[in-house]
Amino acid sequence: MQRNALFRWAVGKGEGVPAFARLAAYEDFAKRADQKPTTADLEAIQTLNLPREALPTAWLNEQDVWGALLPSMPLWALTRNLGNMTKLGVIDAFGTGAGNRIVARLKDADEIRRSRMHPYHFLVAQVTYAQGHGMKAKGEWTPVPAIVDALNDAFVLAHQNVTPTGKNVLVAIDGSGSMQSGRVVGNDYLSVAQAAAALAYTFVQTDTSVVTVGFTQRLIPFSITKRDTIASVAQKAYVAPEATDCALPFHWAIHRQTENPKAESVDAFVVITDNETWSGREHPQQALKRYREQYNPKAKLVVIAMSATRATIGDPNDPNILDVVGFDASAPAIIGQFIRGEL
C-alpha cells in the first residue's frame, strides 16, 4: 500500500490503527509544516488520536487543531496546556463546548483515578493557570473561573491516587514569616507555604492518624478538615515572623506522651522548613534521639528543606532520616515510600 493510500486508509480506523499508519501521518504533516492544516488534517488528528508532539509547531497556534486534539488528550497534557488553549480562544469565559468538556473531565473521579496523577500536579496546574501567565513563556491569558474551580476539584479528587502510609505521622510546618514569601526550589510556581500546606493536607486526607502543628519559637497544633483549602491551611500553619526552633516538634511529642503514656507513639516526623532556622536550646537531632530512647526507637524523620542551604537538621548518616531538598510532584510518593519502609 502506498503511503498516501495508507494514510487515507488509517483515517476512521481509530484504536485499531497500527503504529506505521500514525508514522505515515507524522511524515505527511511534517512535509506540509508551512501550510495551514486542512479539514482532512483535523479529521486525521482526531481519528488517529495523535498527540500534540506529532504536529508541526506552527499548527499549535490554530484553535481548530486544539479542538481536534482535545478528545484524546491525556489529562496530564490537558492540565499543562490550559493556558495555551485559553489564549487561543479554545476555552472562553462563556462556557464553550470545549470549556464545558474540560470542566467535566476535571470533575470526573473515574478519569482522575485512571490518570494516576498526584494531587500536587493539579495544584501546580491551578496556581499556574490562575496567575494568567507562565513562569518562562511570554504567553498571557485571562483565566476562566470555571476552570480554576475545576482544577481545585481535581486536586481534591486526586487524593484517591495517593497510597496511605498506614503510620502515625506528625507533620510540623515552619510557621515563620519567611515561609510565606519564599519560593520552592525546583518549582517557582508555588510559595513555600503553599507547598507545605498541600503536603499536610494530603497526609490528613489519605491517612487516619496524622497530627499537624505549626512552629517557630512556640508550637501551635492545628486541625485540617475537608472544607479547608490550601490557603486556609497555610494560614493555620503560620505562627509569627520570628526565629525558628526545629527541635520543638520533638519536644512537643515527648511532652504529649509524657502527659498521656497510653498515647500511640509517632512513627514518622515530617518537618517542613525553608531552612532559615536556629537550633534553640537543643539541636533537633538530639531531641529526636531522646524521643527514640523514651518512646519509639524506630521513629523516622523526613526533613523537607524547601530552600537549599548547606545545613540540615538531621544526621545524614542516620538511615531512618530522609532529607528532601526542594519539592516537586515526585517528592510526595518518595516520602510515602520512605515512611512505609519501602525505601
- The DSSP code sequence of 206-258 is H-SSEEEEEESSSEEEE---TT--HHHHHHHH---SS--BTTHHHHHHHHHHH
**Contact in structure between 171 and 235 (CB atoms under 8 Å):** no
Rounded Cα distance, 216 and 176, in Å:
6
pLDDT at 277 over 50: yes
The enclosing H or E element of 67 equals helix 63-69
The enclosing H or E element of 291 equals helix 284-294
Question: Alpha helix locations (H) across 71-229?
Answer: 75-80, 82-87, 97-106, 109-115, 119-131, 145-157, 178-181, 192-206
Q: Which residue has the cell 536556629?
A: 278
Mean pLDDT confidence for 53-73? 89
**Which residues share a beta bridge with 167?**
none
Please indicate, yes or no, whether the overall pTM of this predicted structure exceeds 0.85: no
Rounded Cα distance, 40 and 213, in Å:
59
Q: Report pLDDT for 181.
A: 64
pLDDT at 320 over 60: yes
**pLDDT: is 328 or 299 the higher one?**
299
Rounded Cα distance, 174 and 214, in Å:
6
**pLDDT: is 48 or 187 the higher one?**
48
Q: How confident is the model at residue 14 (pLDDT cuts 50, 70, 90)?
A: very low
The C-alpha R_g of the chain, in whole angstroms, comes to 24
Residue 123 to residues 20, 44, 149, 177, 329, Cα–Cα distance (Å): 37, 33, 11, 22, 10
pLDDT at 9 over 50: no
Q: What single-letter amino acid sits at 273? A: T
**Nearest to 234, CA basis, from 197, 266, 205:** 197
pLDDT at 242 over 90: no
Domains of the chain are 163-340 (3.40.50.410)
**Nearest to 75, CA basis, from 174, 161, 192, 181:** 161
Q: Read off the pLDDT of residues 92-148 as tens digits, 9 standing for 90 and up.
A: 765 568 888 999 999 999 999 999 999 999 998 998 899 888 766 567 899 999 999
Work out the mean pLDDT of the chain and round it to a whole number: 85
pLDDT at 156 over 70: yes
